[in-house]
Amino acid sequence: MNFSKRYVIWFLMIIILFLSVFRFFICSAKKTAIEETLPIAEQIIEEFTITETHEGKLEMILKAESAIVNESENIAHLKLPVIKFYDKGSYISTFVAESADINMDTYDIKGNGKCTVNSANNEYLQTESLIYNAKEELIYSNNNVKITRPSGTVCGTSFRSDTKLDKIVIKNQRILID
């Protein structure tokens, strides 16, 4: 009987050793899979300023708290952007939004959340989800808009304008006089 107990003990020890070796190889294989790095299609930029000029004249200054650049979609997602527009070096307006998306191909900008535009002529525009078309140099929104001028306040259901706020078309407008 002692002889068979020894075989059982040896047999159990061999099984335990086999399971330990097997477990070691399985765990090391899992570690290799976990340690693989996946390709990242995004870049993060914090506290930056971009200046655009044309023939030596200032055209635009863009500042933002941060940006996430998605290279696969060619879009930059900005947090708290401030965009100053210039016409041949002369300041014309400032566009501020809670966040914005910039199409890196067309440079069109979609402001999200509360958006404001302050012009050099002391005009103040407020709306939600403002869009800037870079090719046409136009801003517009299909949301309610409020424009405050020294002469009074104009409200409407949507608008389209140049960046100077000189040529504004407001739909369903009403004028508020103090």
In the chain, the domains with their CATH numbers are 42-176 (2.60.450.10)
* Rounded Cα gap, residues 102 and 109, in angstroms: 5
State pLDDT tens for residues 15-64: 665 566 556 555 554 444 445 554 455 788 899 999 999 899 999 999 99
pLDDT the model gives residue 140? 96
Joined together, the tokens standing for residue 27 give 């765990």
pLDDT the model gives residue 175? 86
Q: Which of 99, 51, 57, 54 is nearest to 79 (CA)?
A: 99
Question: How many Å from the N-terminal Cα to the C-terminal Cα in the chain?
Answer: 110
Q: What is the pTM of this model?
A: 0.72
CA 100 from centre of chain: 5
Give the number of other CB atoms < 10 A from CB of residue 87: 16
